[in-house]
Amino acid sequence: MPGALSQRLSPARSTAVAARAGIALGAGITILFVTGLISHLIQHPPDWFRWPAHPVWLYRVTQGTHVTVGVMMIPLLLVKLWSVYPRFFRKPSLRRGLPEVVERLSVAVLIGVVLFQIVTGLFNTAQYYPWKFFFTTTHHATAYVALGAVVVHLAVKLPIVRQALSKPVDAPDSVARAAADPDDEHTEPQGVSRRAVLIAAGLGAVVAGMAVAGQSIPFLRWVSLLAPRSGQGPQSVPINRTAAAAAVTESARSPQYTLTVKVGGRERGFSRADLEALPQRDSALPIACVEGWSAQGHWSGVRLRDLLAQVGEYRGGDVRFVSLETTGIYGSSVLPRNFVVDAATLIALRLNGEDLALDHGYPCRLIAPDRPGVLQTKWLESIEELP
């Protein structure tokens, strides 16, 4: 029976593979934590946080990296789980006591939170939410649990990891032999080599990443078969929320539409024609969303700082933008001062040489450099300098 079991096991099920796959996963989780934290801080900024307006592509890179690396983790996680699978069912050793209990608990928590983050993150990229909780805050909170589980797991397994990395990948592995036949220390499991499994894991991660990277890297769009948004949409820019879904179709097209601007204690209304009559400026800016997609656009409209000057003296405070939309959770946004005074920040009226499509925010919208798409408020109703 031991011989039959050894034929079913592979030498890839070893600390050599588990350690190397684990290092890659740990690096990936660290990247995901940092880039995810950046996105969360931009959307929910504490008083101490400052995000730059330049370079204009920075958020495009950080969030595109976040989603792409998250997808790349899937093959690596599968290989990691496969390499240690037999150990999940071994009885804890009474001889090792508390360290083994901590190890098992850290593994259970780590696997659970990583799977949760990957699955919910994938659903978010597809804008599919079959749950009741708010994705953004839950994903953010769980990220701390995932990072903590990685740190605990690494602390417990560090001696084993160091030993595994100190040897050639295909060196004999006592753990693999014990998994094959605990009663025969000379039994070495047969099957695909560890090197082949690691190469396959690396190639799988690259292929998985390229399958979605095109939604933020234009020249990869032709190979990104799984990218939900890759430059498709009205005026060659994708959209997340249509005017119909936001219930603004009638109000946005109304002949009585007025944009209310409040600055320095003064207030003034602007029709679409009034905005068109003001000096027009152009900005080449990407629009990048938390789902990982981004697209470059050539926007035209009124500089925000110029529009504010038409009403009153801007005193340097943050500025709130409110949408005609009343049904969504992103019906308003707040723009910090460094974005307000930036020459690239526009109240956009046109996109890629055409009047804004209704789904892109007609009659006017905010477009600012280096900001998540959810904060680029569409269908503007009012703009107000905050105290």
Q: What is the pLDDT of residue 180?
A: 46
Cβ-contact 27, 79 below 8 angstroms: no
**237 in any annotated domain:** no
Residue 6 has pLDDT above 80, yes or no: no
Q: Do 74 and 33 fall within a single domain?
A: yes
3-state secondary structure of 279: coil
**% the chain with pLDDT above 70:** 87
**369 in any annotated domain:** yes
Q: What is the pLDDT of residue 178?
A: 45
The string of pLDDT tens digits covering residues 203-213 is: 999 999 999 99
Cβ-contact 122, 79 below 8 angstroms: no
Q: Do 195 and 277 fall within a single domain?
A: no
Q: What is the pLDDT of residue 375?
A: 96
Q: Do 64 and 210 fall within a single domain?
A: yes
Q: What are the backbone dihedrals phi and psi of residue 376, each rounded to the nearest 5 degrees, phi first? A: -95, 75
**347 in any annotated domain:** yes
Q: What is the pLDDT of residue 97?
A: 62
Q: Strand pairing partners for 263?
A: 266
Task: Read off the pLDDT band of 82 (50, 70, 90).
Answer: confident
Rounded to the nearest 10 degrees, the angle between the axes of helix 98-125 and helix 15-43 is 50
Rounded mean pLDDT of 322-342? 93
**234 in any annotated domain:** no
Q: Do 297 and 260 fall within a single domain?
A: yes
Task: Read off the pLDDT band of 294 (50, 70, 90).
Answer: very high
Which of 258, 284, 257 lies closest to 269 in space, CA to CA?
258
Residue 92 has pLDDT above 70, yes or no: no
Q: What is the pLDDT of residue 19?
A: 87
- Burial classification of residue 132, based on how many CB atoms lie within 10 Å of its CB (0-12 exposed, 13-18 middle, 19 or more buried): exposed
Residue 2 has pLDDT above 50, yes or no: no
- Average pLDDT over the chain reads 87
Residue 5 has pLDDT above 50, yes or no: no
Q: Which two tokens stand for residue 101?
A: 């209990």
Task: Read off the pLDDT band of 93 (50, 70, 90).
Answer: low
φ/ψ region of 133 (left if φ > 0, alpha if ψ in -120 to 50, else beta) reads beta
**Residue scoring higher pLDDT (46 or 193):** 46
Q: Do 144 and 264 fall within a single domain?
A: no
How many domains, in total, are found in the chain? 2
Q: What is the pLDDT of residue 54?
A: 96
Rounded mean pLDDT of 70-77? 94
Q: What is the pLDDT of residue 99?
A: 67
**Residue scoring higher pLDDT (178 or 83):** 83
Q: Do 15 and 147 fall within a single domain?
A: yes
The β-bridge relationship of strands 332-335 and 346-351 is unpaired
The string of pLDDT tens digits covering residues 167-192 is: 887 776 654 554 444 444 445 556 67
Q: Do 131 and 263 fall within a single domain?
A: no
Rounded mean pLDDT of 11-28? 86
**Residue scoring higher pLDDT (265 or 382):** 382
**146 in any annotated domain:** yes
Q: Do 121 and 33 fall within a single domain?
A: yes
Residue 267 has pLDDT above 70, yes or no: yes
**293 in any annotated domain:** yes
**229 in any annotated domain:** no
CATH number reported for the structural domain that contains residue 343 in this entry: 3.90.420.10
Q: What is the pLDDT of residue 77?
A: 92
Rounded mean pLDDT of 28-56? 95
Q: Do 211 and 250 fall within a single domain?
A: no
Rounded mean pLDDT of 265-271? 95
Task: Read off the pLDDT band of 89 (50, 70, 90).
Answer: low
Q: Do 252 and 300 fall within a single domain?
A: yes
Cβ-contact 145, 109 below 8 angstroms: yes
**230 in any annotated domain:** no
Most confident region among 130-134, 161-165, 220-224, 368-372 by mean pLDDT: 368-372
Rounded mean pLDDT of 261-287? 96
3-state secondary structure of 267: strand
The DSSP code sequence of 8-33 is H--TTSSHHHHHHHHHHHHHHHHHHH
Q: Do 254 and 338 fall within a single domain?
A: yes
- The residue segments making up the domain with residue 344 are 243-385
